[in-house]
Amino acid sequence: MKKLFIFLIYLFLLPNFILAEENSKIQIEVHKNLRCLVCQGQSIADSNSDFAKTIKLVVKDLIDEGQSKEEIYDFLVSKYGEWIVYKPAVNAKNFVLWFLPYIILLLGGIIILMFTKKGKNKRHN
Amino acid sequence: MKNKIIKIFAFGFPTFIFIIFFLGLATDKTYDTRNIVGQKISYFTLNALIGDSQITEKDLVNNQFTLINFWSSWCAPCRAEHKTLLKLKDNPKLKILGINFKDSQKNAIIYLTKLGDPYQYIAQDKDGKASIKFGVYGIPESILIDGNLKIIKKYIGPLSKNDYLEILKVLY
């Protein structure tokens, strides 16, 4: 009987533990992607400043309200600008930042391919 | 063809690097939150510093202009701008909402008794969470809004003489 009682309590509390664990993971992830605006090169996760502490409280509230990571970032970007997030959004303004490395890589590949092809043709001739 | 590509690269790559550095170094990297100018302030509900009433954005709708000022008794630059706020207090076109930031009620009241009370409304933000809704990251900060709750100006740091003149210019 006692064992059954303990099992039922465990079963009842398990979803709460899982949810708390999940929320805590999301919180850490969000903190790591937010820049501490009053610090020197620190994220909100790394900083113990007053500003970072307040942001941590706000992020916790928003997660508890059921907001997604993207919604939290959107909210903070609307208040503090894009500088607050480490990972810039993929949009027209940041197009070069996101895609230039791939374009250069592709161009480099094409050029290397052209040279090797030409080299091969010369050797054949 | 090969020489042409080499020439294009020899010229193009340094030019590209130069343009990136030129644009990167020429832009102002000083961070501030003035980008929220033009936005409407969010819905908020704050407890009044004195009494049990609450202050919301609805209280500001009928004002021609409202200056939302974030202050605290422990903040030295807030003392520096206090005279400016007192000068603005009597302006019939402007109401001032003071948001007491991470402070104790007792110290805030002593501060206002000593230095004078420039505020028509005084709210408290004990844990600072409400200030995040206003894009505040340090105090003093002041936000000038119109009757439609649209942000007209944002002042980071203590209000200077120039800021005071600028506010008057907006009002008239």
Closest partner CB to A115 (pick from B2, B33, B35): B2
Q: Do A61 and A99 fall into the same domain?
A: no
ipTM for the assembly:
0.80
Give the model's pLDDT for residue B138: 87
Q: Do A85 and A100 fall into the same domain?
A: no
B13: left (phi over 0), alpha (psi -120 to 50) or beta: alpha
A91 to chain B, closest Cα gap in Å: 18
Give the model's pLDDT for residue A71: 95
The CATH number of the domain holding residue A34 is 1.10.8.640
The domain in which residue A77 lies consists of 2-89
Residues A115 and A110: their CA atoms lie apart, in Å, by: 9
Q: Do A83 and A95 fall into the same domain?
A: no
Tens of pLDDT, residues A41-77: 899 999 999 999 999 999 999 999 999 999 999 999 9
Question: Residues of B with CB below 8 A from A111's CB?
Answer: 5
Check whether A13 has a pLDDT greater than 70.
Answer: no
Confidence of residue A94 (pLDDT cuts 50, 70, 90): confident
Output the DSSP codes for chain A: -HHHHHHHHHHHHHHHHHHHHHHHHHHHHHHHTBB-TTSSS-BTTT--SHHHHHHHHHHHHHHHTT--HHHHHHHHHHHH-GGGBSS---SSTTHHHHHHHHHHHHHHHHHHHHHHHHHHHHHH-
Q: Do A66 and A113 fall into the same domain?
A: no
Q: Do A67 and A14 fall into the same domain?
A: yes
Confidence of residue A15 (pLDDT cuts 50, 70, 90): low
Tens of pLDDT, residues B64-114: 999 999 999 999 999 999 999 999 998 999 999 999 999 999 999 999 999
Check whether A22 has a pLDDT greater than 80.
Answer: no
Cβ-defined contact of B127 to A55 (cutoff 8 Å)? no
Number of domains composing chain A: 2
Check whether B136 has a pLDDT greater than 70.
Answer: yes
Q: Measured between CB atoms, does A117 come within 8 Å of chain B? A: no
Cβ-defined contact of A57 to B31 (cutoff 8 Å)? no
Question: Residues of A with CB below 8 A from B129's CB?
Answer: 54, 57-58, 61
Average pLDDT of the segment spanning A34-45: 93
Q: Do A95 and A80 fall into the same domain?
A: no
Confidence of residue A30 (pLDDT cuts 50, 70, 90): very high
Predicted TM-score (pTM) of the model is 0.79
Q: Do A53 and A26 fall into the same domain?
A: yes
| A84-93, B56-65, B77-86, range with the lowest pLDDT | A84-93
| B23-27, B93-97, B160-164, range with the lowest pLDDT | B23-27
Give the model's pLDDT for residue B1: 66
Q: Do A19 and A67 fall into the same domain?
A: yes
Question: Residues of B with CB below 8 A from A61's CB?
Answer: 129
Question: Residues of B with CB below 8 A from A37's CB?
Answer: 31, 137
Nearest CA in chain B to A78: B36
Q: Measured between CB atoms, does A50 come within 8 Å of chain B? A: yes
Q: Do A75 and A85 fall into the same domain?
A: yes
Confidence of residue A11 (pLDDT cuts 50, 70, 90): low
Q: Do A72 and A106 fall into the same domain?
A: no
Name the maximum alpha-carbon separation found in chain B: 82
Give the model's pLDDT for residue B70: 97
Q: Do A67 and A125 fall into the same domain?
A: no
Closest partner CB to B33 (pick from A55, A58, A80): A80
The size of the A-B interface in CB pairs under 8 A is 42
Q: Do A63 and A82 fall into the same domain?
A: yes
